[in-house]
A and B are shown apart, each in its own frame.
Chain A
């Protein structure tokens, strides 16, 4: 039995409401052990979030595929058959990849925003690092997306648009999207605890942002002034990378740079705010 007492001064060492004994682990091995354990917790909670979403439905996880496929089918029908727009090659796959990546972002940001409040029971009663909650929400939607990726890659295989660069670009687009989603989630959830309006604000903003993101249209066909404006949308770069991977299109590196910078800046702002607020989460939820 260890008999050491971990220092915990108000506000400082107990701080963030981490593991209670986390305050100041002495040995690198102990720190590493804690970290591994925590990663395991994030993994288990992510799987739980993923399972929870489809638990009560008969088709279960199949819905993760049916929903976007149906949406893509309707959009393809409308644009290809009714409006007879044939300017984007492999339009069904183009729109499906857009929808899936957008849903990842949207569900990650909305779920992440309310993650602290949604887990009020745990936040108030169990001392775990609070960052676990937004992380495991994003982890849960990442699992959904992983499943959808199988369909996307199969689609690209059928279209004959896979290339040697596909894996690299795909991993890159995933990394940027995960960090970007996390950046928004971490920043917004610390605000959401004190200002519950944030959730509605986020939901309605995302509804509009959908149309400002090239999910169903091709940005390269826009007039240059609109095109350069659209590059400020951080999801533009993510979609550009993803479609370059799946549809052998060229990467818009300007848009990608904007996405990366945006993701990093969001995390750089969000994490310190989160850390400062986390100690009060249990009081405020």
Chain B
């Protein structure tokens, strides 16, 4: 089968940069009907690879061949103008992506329907929420009928139902033989839709293969990352504790539901094994939202945790109320020695979970309101 994208030994050193290679000696292939994900930390070269694939910038060395119709953008909604209405932006954006005036006219309603923005399409996009903005951008991009679609973090924003819709659309395009190369930090989505996954590390291709294996390798790489625990300076690999198991379960059933609802009670269960004698520790727990980043970081009072000898396994249970609104979340777990001098454990994204929409509610929090109205007092009789 003919390749939609064939990059060989691609290297990129940005003009006007510090002279270092943003990408070095990377091979990339995309076959028709194949979804390929790129993962890696910030600055690993993921976006650079997309930019080369799409043609916004040229490789310093290496060869690149690609299909005729490549969606020429790497970020949905790029080039939207805040003051212009959704309608005008669709018209401009679709042409930027290579649609003809006739095509735009023909597919306009389809685009707006897909984005579910018919009611606000004549309002300036500055009034849109970031989710609506992404929806419109994504809708335009998938309606340009590309052979190869390149997208950067398309699944980062937007409410859950729309993410589901995007994933459905991507599956449908895949079935039609469209190749998709995308960057995402949403590892659940990567595991779900990608056939192959590339892990980039400092501009080089660290490994490539089926998503579960590559994601595992990525997690290993992340452990060497700077910790999420305040104070502890980590220059070396954290050691001393292992996280055997982490789960967010319902306290009633002990099971993990597919989707949580706002204000659900939940229990975070961590099973730790001491790999060395651990007289005392400080724990750091951080909840991250895919759309807004850090939600909360805190250090539970661990004075009640007994000293651990080497090989001890302990389970910690934290009760919590999910006071957040709809979206994707992850929990990082870290531990340091009680004097903060040594990192014992650092596991970003130990648990990830999704919270469904509560209708009629907006904003990052869900405050679990209650509501009551008193019986009307009769108006004083006037005689």
Q: Which residues on A are within 8 Å of B, measured CB to CB?
A: 1-11, 14-15, 17-21, 33, 36-37, 40-41, 44-45, 48, 51-52, 55-56, 119, 121-128, 194, 279-280, 282-284
Contacts and interface: CB of A to CB of B under 8 A. Distances in A.
Contacts of B91: 44
Question: Ordered nearest first, which 3 A-B pairs have the shortest CB separation?
Answer: A127-B72, A125-B78, A20-B55
B67 to A, nearest CB: 7
10 contacts: A3-B2, A4-B68, A7-B65, A10-B62, A17-B57, A18-B55, A44-B95, A122-B79, A128-B72, A280-B57
Given A14-B55, A48-B92, A127-B56, 18 more contacts: A1-B147, A1-B177, A4-B68, A6-B66, A8-B66, A10-B58, A19-B72, A20-B66, A40-B95, A52-B83, A124-B51, A125-B73, A125-B74, A127-B54, A127-B70, A280-B16, A283-B16, A283-B17
Nearest to A9: B63
B100 A40 contact: yes
Interface string B60-92: 111111111110111100110101100010011
A19 B97 CA distance: 9
Given A4-B68, A5-B3, A284-B15, A124 B32 contact: no
Contacts of B64: 8-10, 14
Nearest to A193: B16
Contacts of B56: 17, 123-127, 282
Interface residues of B, number: 47
A19 B67 CA distance: 12
B84 A51 contact: yes
Nearest to A2: B68
A4 B177 CA distance: 14
Contacts of A126: 56, 72-74, 78-79, 96-97
Contacts of B84: 48, 51-52, 55
A200 to B, nearest CB: 20
Given A37-B100, A51-B84, A127-B54, A10 B60 contact: yes
A52 B6 contact: no
B58 A11 contact: yes
A10 B16 contact: no
B353 interface: no
B55 A17 contact: yes
Contacts of B14: 283
Contacts of B147: 1-2
A45 B3 CA distance: 34
Nearest to B53: A20
Contact of B67 (A21, A44, A52): A21
B59 interface: yes
A283 B92 CA distance: 24
B59 A10 contact: yes
Nearest to A123: B56
Contact of A55 (B16, B17, B68, B83): B83
A20 B144 CA distance: 14
Interface SS, B side: loop
A128 B92 CA distance: 13
Nearest to A40: B101
Contacts of B32: 1, 3
Contacts of A124: 51, 56
A283 B15 contact: yes
B212 interface: no
Interface in B1-39: 2-3, 6, 14-17, 32
Contacts of A123: 56
Contacts of A279: 57-58
Contacts of A4: 67-68
Contact of A48 (B17, B60, B62, B88): B88
Contacts of A122: 78-79, 96
B63 A44 contact: no
Contacts of A284: 15-16
A51 B100 CA distance: 21
| Most-contacted residue by chain A among B58, B59, B95 (CB, 10 A) | B58
A212 B191 CA distance: 67
Contact of A2 (B3, B61, B67): B67
Contacts of A121: 78-79
B148 to A, nearest CB: 9
Given A122-B79, A128-B72, A282 B65 contact: no
B240 interface: no
A1 B145 CA distance: 10
A21 B59 contact: no
Contacts of A40: 95, 100-101
A1 B32 CA distance: 10
A7 B15 CA distance: 23
Contact of B70 (A9, A21, A44, A119): A21
Nearest to B98: A19
B374 to A, nearest CB: 48
Contacts of B101: 40, 44
A17 B58 contact: yes
A96 to B, nearest CB: 30
A5 to B, nearest CB: 4
A5 B95 contact: no
B51 A282 contact: yes
Contact of B65 (A8, A11, A19): A8
A20 B75 CA distance: 15
Contact of B61 (A5, A10, A33, A280): A10
Given A48-B84, A55-B84, A121-B78, A5 B51 contact: no
A48 B66 CA distance: 31
A36 B61 CA distance: 33
Contacts of B98: 19, 37
Contacts of A2: 67-69, 147
